[in-house]
Amino acid sequence: MKFTALQIATHINGSIEGNEHVSVNGFSKIEEGKEGDITFLANPKYEDHLYTTKASIVIVSHVLELKASVQPTLIRVSDPYASFAKLMRYYQSLLSTHLVGIEEPSYIHPSAKIGKDVYIAAFTYVGENAVVGDNVKLYPHTFLGNGVTIGNDTTVFAGVKIYHHCTIGNHVLIHAGTVIGSDGFGFVPESNGIYKKVPQLGNVVIEDYVEIGANVCIDRATMGSTTIKMGTKLDNLVQIAHNVEVGQNTVVAAQAGISGSTKIGNRVTIGGQAGIVGHIQIADGVKINGQSGVSKSIREKETIVTGSPAFEFSTAMRSQAVFRKLPDLDKKIKELENLLEIMLKEKEELSS
């Protein structure tokens, strides 16, 4: 498929500098652009590539001031990264095959309710009283337990397991290998040292427009619900424990873990490999840097924390600066101690 600069500018509400009739049929990074490609410039450190790229069209900011002439046609927008992403989503939607129908072999319980225009791939299992909404896509080896509900326009990729009575909203995307509704990690030690399992009787609720990466585990609640709220995005290999609540439009990077009954606010950013203990609260807008260990509640909104145990970012940076100077400080202390010793000896000699 080919698109002209005029068609693209119309779609992303941009203004054209150059040939509005030039066409493209592919995407590329700016440093790897070739004729027929469209690319973008959002990070200033890549600006030098704007003057050397072979790409036919580059999406740039309205406020970018050119330092030299450029060969590509420019499309100016307020946010190049967001506009490029919008364009890629549109292109992907055109490429996507409109899969509809129920393949064999698959099992659908007679009591299950199946919506319109669904795609249920081979080797899929849909349990008793499950509900599958309109335009849902279930890829091979998907398992939906009894009483599972899936809203409209949701896609569940291969090998996803959704345990009984969990609820998935509309426009949700769940990538391969994810498990939703497995038992929470609940055990009680008895007097003989043996751990007795605590029944996990709750469920998991995934609200609308959530995206869940590959091989994510979201545990069901002991009682009530583990909840992932609207618009949240979970990266691959994330662990969400029982009774956790993750707020709206929060993002969690790969290999992060959130322990049981912790409440995460809206618009929180959690970096890769961060760990959060159970039964605490994280306020709206908090940013937790990668590999941080959060051991207590963060109640002030928009706070940035880092380290393990995690503490306020600017304080942590000052502490790191002092830490780097410790060898020099140690050397100065020893010099001062030696000087003090000499001065004391001189004082003793004078007094005698």
Q: Name every residue whose Cβ is closer than 8 Å to that of residue 195 and which is 6 or more positions away in sequence.
A: 187, 188, 189
Give CA–CA dist 52/61, Å, rounded.
Answer: 18
Per-residue tokens: 98: 């409109």
CB 292, CB 270: distance < 8 Å: no
Q: Name every residue whose Cβ is closer than 8 Å to that of residue 291 and which is 6 or more positions away in sequence.
A: 271, 272, 273, 274, 308
Give CA–CA dist 193/346, Å, rounded.
Answer: 67
Looking only at the bridges linking them, the beta strands covering 217-219 and 211-212 are unpaired
Known active-site residue 62:
no
Gyration radius of the chain over CA positions: 28
Between helices 5-12 and 80-95, what is the axis angle to 10°? Answer: 110
Coil/strand/helix, residue 201: coil
**3-class DSSP string for 242-305:** CCCEECCCCEECCCCEECCCCEECCCCEECCCCEECCCCEECCCCEECCCCEECCCECCCCCEE
Element spanning 76, H or E: strand 73-77
Q: Distances in Å between the alpha carbon of 58 and those of 9, 21, 50, 91?
A: 11, 14, 8, 16
Q: 11, 109, 242, 279: which is the annotated catalytic residue? A: 242
Element spanning 32, H or E: none
Element spanning 343, H or E: helix 326-351
Give the alpha-carbon dihedral of 296, 301, 302, 307, to 10 degrees. Answer: -10
Cite the active site residues. 242
